[in-house]
Amino acid sequence: MEIRVTQEQGKVPVTVMHVTGNIDSSTYEAFQAKADELMEGGTRYLLVDLEHAPLITSAGLRALNSIFTRLRELTPDVSDEAMRKGINAGTYKSPHVKLLKPSKASTVALEHSGFSLFIQSFNDPKEAIASFG
């Protein structure tokens, strides 16, 4: 797995992690470490570009959940109770982490695991960047 990072400016500054390769049990730690490094450096809006990442396994989903949780801790948007109610009602979407161009296999994993309930996926990079802030 390789990760390239770029910065985009929408309504807010957005950090984009361009992932090449699977996010699985052998690579999730590197994925998590890079995201942690970016958050420690001030990233508060993260777009994970999965166009060249054919698969996210359960290990990758755990890393994604950790990133989601850390960004909520750094910049709380609503209370935990309001977030849970919003996820259950289908009205809450993370304002801090979003996905770009997940593969069909990754989309299935995101849907089956429930991540698609609170982490938005986009196919258009401009639309994804504009959705932050």
pLDDT in tens, the chain (133 residues): 999 999 999 999 999 999 999 999 999 999 999 999 999 999 999 999 999 999 999 999 999 999 999 999 999 899 999 999 999 998 999 999 999 999 999 999 999 999 999 999 999 999 999 999 9
Alpha carbons 66 and 133: distance in angstroms, whole number: 21
Task: Give burial (CB, 10 Å; 0-12/13-18/19+) of 94.
Answer: buried
| Structure confidence at residue 115 (pLDDT) | 94
Give the model's pLDDT for residue 19. Answer: 98
Q: What is the CATH number of the domain that holds 7?
A: 3.30.750.24
- Residue 84 belongs to some domain of the structure: yes
Structural domain boundaries enclosing 73? 2-128
Distance CA 6, CA 25 (A): 25
In this structure, is residue 20 part of a structural domain?
Answer: yes
Q: Does residue 133 sit within a domain?
A: no
Quote the pLDDT of residue 113: 94
Phi, psi of 54 (to 5 degrees): -60, -25
In the chain, how many domains are there?
A: 1
The verdict on residue 96 lying in a domain is: yes
Contacts of 23 (CB under 8 A, 6+ apart): 1, 31, 53, 55, 56, 57, 59, 60, 63, 64
In a domain, 46, yes or no: yes
Q: Is residue 39 part of a domain?
A: yes
